[in-house]
């Protein structure tokens, strides 16, 4: 039994949820999202709650039960509050700035690195901390991971991108023998 799939999803004030055929549409103050529901799962909207039920007892139905519940829950949270992730850039001479819809970065390479921000996301830089915000949790996380992969934090000096609050285990460098 899926513990996540059993939990009902509450619809907050200001968020509308509609189901047409096998698509669910969620709209709120931050924007609109839609999700195609697989046929092995049933979604029931009753008043201000949504429940997800297994369509049958197949393996795919059991697998998609909790997943569909969390996807709908993330859509509702995204259109009402939004999601954000913060990256910190550490290192001497490492800089970044947002110019238009591009992030320009100096990461210690022989050339500057430019990354275009997708239209549905927003980027902001304050004191070498890059904050990515948007309504889709998957897109926010994926774009943040792509930026982090440009210069991941290294374990010797701690230079590079790290998530806010991430603890990096530092390694001891070579010892000089005398």
Domains 3-80 and 83-163 fall in the same CATH topology: yes
User: What's the mean pLDDT in 159-174?
Assistant: 88
How high is the pLDDT of residue 5?
A: 82
Which CATH fold topology does 83-163 show?
Outer Surface Protein A; domain 3 (3.90.930)
How high is the pLDDT of residue 111?
A: 94
Q: Where are the domains of the chain?
A: 3-80, 83-163
Residue 39: is its pLDDT beyond 80?
Answer: yes
Which CATH number is 3-80 given?
A: 3.90.930.12
pTM of the model: 0.88
How high is the pLDDT of residue 2?
A: 63
Which contiguous run of DSSP H or E holds residue 140? helix 137-148
């Amino acid at each position: 039994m899926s513990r996540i799939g059993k939990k009902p999803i509450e619809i907050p004030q200001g968020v509308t949820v509609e189901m047409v055929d096998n698509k669910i549409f969620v709209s709120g103050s931050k924007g609109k999202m839609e999700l195609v529901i697989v046929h092995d799962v049933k979604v029931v909207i009753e008043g201000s709650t949504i429940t997800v039920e297994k369509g049958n007892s197949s393996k795919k139905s059991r697998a998609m039960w909790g997943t569909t519940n969390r996807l709908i829950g993330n859509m509702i949270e995204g259109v009402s509050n939004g999601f954000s992730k913060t990256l910190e850039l550490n290192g001497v001479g490492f800089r970044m700035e947002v110019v238009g819809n591009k992030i320009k970065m100096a990461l210690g390479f022989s050339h500057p690195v430019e990354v275009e921000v997708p239209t549905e996301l927003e980027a902001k830089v304050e004191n070498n901390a890059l904050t990515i915000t948007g309504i889709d949790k998957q897109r926010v996380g994926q774009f943040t991971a792509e930026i982090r992969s440009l210069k991941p934090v290294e374990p010797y000096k701690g230079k590079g991108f790290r998530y806010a609050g991430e603890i990096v285990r530092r390694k001891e460098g070579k010892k000089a023998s005398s």
